[in-house]
Chain A
Amino acid sequence: NAGVTQTPKFRVLKTGQSMTLLCAQDMNHEYMYWYRQDPGMGLRLIHYSVGEGTTAKGEVPDGYNVSRLKKQNFLLGLESAAPSQTSVYFCASSYSYAQYTFGSGTRLTVV
């Protein structure tokens, strides 16, 4: 099925560990986004990409890095995880005229 796939769906990390979250879309969308969701805060934009090889900072980029080496993949990295990065992470992609597709989310716990 066409859509946005996030892996993994769940992960528990120890403080200081690193990990990469993968977002893959098969709709040939140019634009991709990473959000984090925290209780009472809605979804906040971490980083986004307007095309292969490009990235830009969002509202809450500190502690995260991203890469868009291939058009279909948008990777979110945590170099040294902190408890404050415990959250649910959503990836999304868009093509045109306000057609946004979201992944099902990754629940990350940092202990």
Chain B
Amino acid sequence: AQSVTQLDSQVPVFEEAPVELRCNYSSSVSVYLFWYVQYPNQGLQLLLKYLSGSTLVKGINGFEAEFNKSQTSFHLRKPSVHISDTAEYFCVATLSGNTPLVFGKGTRLSVIA
């Protein structure tokens, strides 16, 4: 069965510092990968997704992620975070465009002024 592991449950970082949220997936076949963000008491918002092609994916709000097939990783990065980036981030995988999404347990990013 497919699984997604987010390696850090909480990541504190100072404002304007860079951040990396780590994600590994397990699958013997090709997968589609996503990062979603959930702001406090809100729903889910898609940050970016990797379907195929370039391994560097750019998303909204200055985030990007790199797909690494050999390491089965899909880490999320931002060069300079803002207080408004404080949220929970989910790494998500699926086998095709119409199969259920499998979520990681989430990483809570706290940006400190």
Contact = CB atoms under 8 A, between A and B. Distances in A.
Interface residues of B, number: 20
20 contacts: A33-B101, A35-B103, A40-B106, A42-B104, A42-B106, A43-B90, A43-B103, A45-B100, A58-B100, A90-B43, A92-B101, A94-B98, A96-B97, A98-B32, A98-B34, A98-B94, A98-B97, A100-B46, A100-B101, A103-B43
B101 A105 contact: no
B44 interface: yes
A74 interface: no
A30 B98 contact: yes
A24 B100 CA distance: 18
Nearest to B106: A42
Nearest to A45: B100
